[in-house]
Amino acid sequence: MYSRILILRFPKTEISKPTVCHLAKNFDLSFNILRATILPRKEGIMVLELLGTKKNFKLGISYLREQGVLVQNASQEVTRNKEKCIHCGACTAVCPSGALSVNRKTMEVEFDQKRCSVCELCVPACPTRSMEARPTSEVFFE
């Protein structure tokens, strides 16, 4: 199974169409919407995790482009500053992927970055600001 977190930018002509549903149905792909918004000028932005075979994934990306959707890899990651963390667990309550959890033996917060979906919900939840979103290299699909 092939999986990527993508940022999709929909032009205003496409926001009312069921593009992501067609993506799932026609290309046998699964998706998890991590964040979605429609901007004031009616353009849409969606962050989603897309899963499927590599072949179907590439076909799906081509379909999105044909619809006028700009497709990018998520260009950031969430990190934890261990020195700032007080292990209060506030971040674990909002983490949808289970990347943040409390070790019941040590009562310390553990962060599995590989499970992180980059939804950034932990960033504002952390009272000491030990959870941080930082940019990585900009990589676009070709």
Per-residue pLDDT, averaged over 53-79, amounts to: 88
pLDDT in tens, 35-63: 888 877 788 888 888 889 989 999 999 99
Q: What is the pLDDT of residue 135?
A: 67
How far from 129 is each of 61, 85, 90, 123, CA to CA, in Å? 35, 8, 11, 7
pLDDT in tens, 78-134: 899 999 999 999 999 999 889 999 999 999 999 998 888 777 889 999 999 999 887
Q: How many helices (H) does the chain have, and how many strands (E)?
A: 4, 8
Band (pLDDT 50/70/90 cuts) for residue 140 is very low
In contact, 132 and 81? CB cutoff 8 Å: yes
| All structural domains of the chain with their residue ranges | 2-73, 77-135
Name the residue among 69, 90, 71 with its Cα closest to residue 80.
Answer: 90
Band (pLDDT 50/70/90 cuts) for residue 136 is low
Name the residue among 37, 53, 49 with its Cα closest to residue 116.
Answer: 49
Three-state SS at 21: helix
CATH superfamily of 2-73: ACT domain (3.30.70.260)
Q: What is the pLDDT of residue 141?
A: 40
Which of 7-11, 61-65, 73-77, 99-103 comes out lowest in average pLDDT?
A: 73-77
Give 35's strand partners.
47
For the entire predicted model, the pTM comes to 0.55
- Dig out the tokens for 32 from the structure: 């998890």
Q: What is the pLDDT of residue 101?
A: 96
Q: Does domain 77-135 have CATH number 3.30.70.20?
A: yes
Task: Give the number of other Cβ atoms within 10 Å of residue 10's Cβ.
Answer: 24
DSSP assigned state of 140: B
Of 142 and 41, the structure prediction assigns the larger pLDDT to: 41
